[in-house]
Structure 1
Amino acid sequence: MHDSAASSPDPRPIAPQPPAPNECCESGCPLCVHDLYAEELMRYRQALAAWEARQPAVSRPEAQ
């Protein structure tokens, strides 16, 4: 099996998986799984924006 993302020298970042509904205990933890996910999502979006900026420009039809 060939995984093109793994063999790419600059693979696209992979989005984090949201926590499952049963992963939050709803007890007001100081560091909730939803907080951790939000931080991971922010880092992913930053990494994705940086990755997209490194990719060659794709010709797009001009908007009329």
Structure 2
Amino acid sequence: MHYFPATDALPPEPPQRPADEECCQSGCDPCVFDRYAEAMEQYRAALRAWEERQAPRAADGPPDGPAGSA
């Protein structure tokens, strides 16, 4: 049986997309949307890592074994 800390029970949350009016349209470097794109890349990597950590847990099946087994 695997131990997973409670903090790993839920997947990471995606970053909040900036509202269109948060961009000033003056060509800032980085733009709020550039920062959002970077945050999304980090989120996707964190989500993939979380999913990989969950795979062994799912493979173990439910605590009492597969449904319908007797």
Partner of 2:41: 42
Partner of 1:3: none
Partner secondary structure for residue 35 of structure 1: helix
- Say if 2:7 is the partner of 1:9: yes
Instruction: Answer 1 or 2: which has greater helix percent.
Output: 2
Query: Quick one: which amino acid aligns to residue 43 of structure 1?
Result: Q
> Identity percentage over the alignment?
54
Partner of 2:21: 22
Partner of 1:53: 52
- Distance apart, 1:9 and its partner CA: 2.9
Report how many aligned residue pairs link the two structures.
Answer: 53
- Distance apart, 1:25 and its partner CA: 0.3
1:18-60 deviations in whole A, cap 9, x for unaligned? Answer: 100110000000110000000000000000000000002367x
Q: Kindly report structure 1 stretches of 4+ aligned residues shifted beyond 3 Å.
A: none
- Distance apart, 1:13 and its partner CA: 0.3
In structure 1, the gaps of 5 or more residues are 1-7, 60-64
Bigger Rg over Cα: 2
In structure 2, the gaps of 5 or more residues are 1-5, 62-70
Partner of 2:67: none
